[in-house]
């Protein structure tokens, strides 16, 4: 125990292989050497949400059946993990399981380990995506819902028969997009899908690496909404979020067109951009335009919340902090002044 100061140490000491994912924004991997630096306070957590790190750690031995921890840690004002929290969680683990993790846990041990302030239960949709990703990554069997979802997206069941398609099946198809013609079927299905399976698919694609061949029709669907006289703002929001990992050639024109229009910059869409497409705001002009639209909602509480959340992201901090002292529009100047007044009161 004396030489175990980080979760990385604990996992390596047990002879386990492991993968680390962020679960707060997009479900995406965090490189293990980067995570080691994060744990030691040498690097800010890359994807904070409301000043917290939401993590999934999957580890396994020769059997390749992974054990999973879902962990939530507070971050300090610089976005760093608090090493005391890591140390406390390690104590819970060692008390429940000892220092060797690659063994089955009894119910008593599981109960002991789950009874700590750092574990959390992700939302059902994120849990489904995560399990599909891990199974695909470790080349494990898919869920029982996979082949039925495949048949549905291939058009074999009838588009109106979506009620029988499980969310886990949809996430399995998306996690194995490059297998068995899955991406081809998804592309063909896009224009046929009723709202319910379409929204479930778009919500899953937020967490997937989109190939260009799928990003292109999604971008076309978004531009169609943008150019419509009566755009469906909720569909546009879902499409924009689904394009988050797309090649910038497909995602940027959509974002720019949204921010160029007061009508399209609805707060629902702005929340989606902040939560999923934040990396596209790593351009001063786009970041400024985003804040202008956010100020124009006249929802100061939302402005304060999203600004505080985005400024914690390491790649946006250097973009957003200088904007505190710029005032391209009256609305933005007022929103920024109110934000700073609220910060001084705390």
pLDDT digits (tens, 9 = 90+) for 130-176: 999 999 999 999 999 999 999 999 999 999 999 999 999 999 999 99
DSSP letter assigned to residue 58: E
For residue 62, pLDDT over 80 is answered with no
Residue 51: pLDDT band with limits 50, 70, 90: very high
- DSSP string over 71-87: EEEEB-TTSPBPHHHHH
- Cα–Cα dist 155/193, whole Å: 10
Nearest to 236 by CA among 208, 212, 269: 269
For the residues 291-311, what does the mean pLDDT come to?
95
For residue 278, pLDDT over 90 is answered with yes
Q: What is the pLDDT of residue 305?
A: 95
Strand runs (DSSP E) across the chain, as ranges? Answer: 17-22, 28-30, 52-60, 67-74
For residue 192, pLDDT over 70 is answered with yes
DSSP letter assigned to residue 162: G
What 3-state DSSP class applies to 121?
coil
Q: What is the pLDDT of residue 325?
A: 83
Are 222 and 192 a contacting pair, CB within 8 Å?
no
Higher-confidence position of 272 and 111: 272
Residue 295: pLDDT band with limits 50, 70, 90: very high
For residue 2, pLDDT over 60 is answered with no
- Cα–Cα dist 155/157, whole Å: 6
Higher-confidence position of 108 and 219: 219
Nearest to 199 by CA among 164, 158, 242, 168: 242
**pLDDT tens per residue, range 83-128:** 899 999 988 888 877 766 656 666 676 677 777 889 999 999 999 9
Tokens 């031995």, located at residue: 61
Averaged pLDDT of the chain: 91
For the residues 216-231, what does the mean pLDDT come to?
96
Would you give the end-to-end CA distance of the chain in angstroms? 39
- DSSP string over 156-218: SS-GGGGGG--HHHHHHHHHTTTSTTHHHHHHHHTTT--HHHHHHHHHHHTTS---HHHHHHH
- Cα–Cα dist 203/205, whole Å: 6
For the residues 241-260, what does the mean pLDDT come to?
96
Percentage with pLDDT > 70 across the chain: 95
């Amino acid at each position: 125990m004396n030489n175990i100061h980080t979760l990385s140490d604990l996992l390596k000491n047990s002879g386990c292989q492991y993968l680390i994912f962020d679960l707060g924004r997009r479900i995406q991997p965090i490189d293990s050497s980067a995570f080691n630096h994060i744990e030691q306070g040498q690097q800010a957590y890359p994807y904070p949400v409301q000043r917290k790190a939401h993590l999934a750690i999957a580890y396994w031995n020769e059997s390749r059946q992974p054990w999973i921890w879902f962990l939530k840690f507070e971050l300090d004002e610089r976005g760093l993990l608090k090493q005391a929290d890591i140390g406390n969680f390690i104590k819970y683990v060692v008390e429940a399981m000892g220092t060797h993790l690659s063994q089955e846990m009894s119910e008593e041990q599981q109960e002991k380990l789950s009874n700590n302030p750092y574990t959390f239960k992700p939302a059902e949709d994120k849990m489904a995506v995560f399990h599909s990703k891990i199974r695909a990554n470790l080349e494990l069997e898919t869920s029982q819902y996979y082949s039925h979802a495949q048949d549905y997206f291939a058009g074999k069941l009838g588009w109106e028969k979506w009620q029988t398609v499980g969310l886990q099946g949809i996430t399995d198809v998306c996690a194995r997009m490059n297998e068995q013609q899955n991406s081809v079927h998804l592309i063909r299905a896009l224009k046929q899908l009723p709202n319910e399976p379409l929204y479930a698919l778009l919500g899953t694609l937020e967490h997937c690496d989109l190939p260009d061949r799928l990003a292109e029709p999604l971008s076309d669907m978004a531009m169609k909404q943008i150019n419509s006289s009566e755009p469906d703002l909720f569909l546009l929001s879902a499409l924009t979020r689904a394009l988050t990992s797309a090649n910038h050639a497909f995602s940027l024109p959509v974002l720019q067109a949204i921010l160029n229009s007061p009508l399209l910059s609805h707060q629902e869409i702005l929340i989606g951009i902040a939560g999923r497409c934040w990396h596209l705001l790593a351009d001063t002009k786009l970041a400024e335009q985003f804040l202008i639209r956010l100020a124009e909602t006249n929802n100061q509480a939302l402005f304060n919340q999203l600004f505080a959340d985005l400024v914690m992201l390491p790649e946006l901090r250097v973009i957003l902090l200088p904007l505190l002292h710029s005032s391209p529009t009256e609305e933005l100047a007022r929103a920024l002044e109110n934000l700073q007044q609220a910060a001084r009161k705390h």
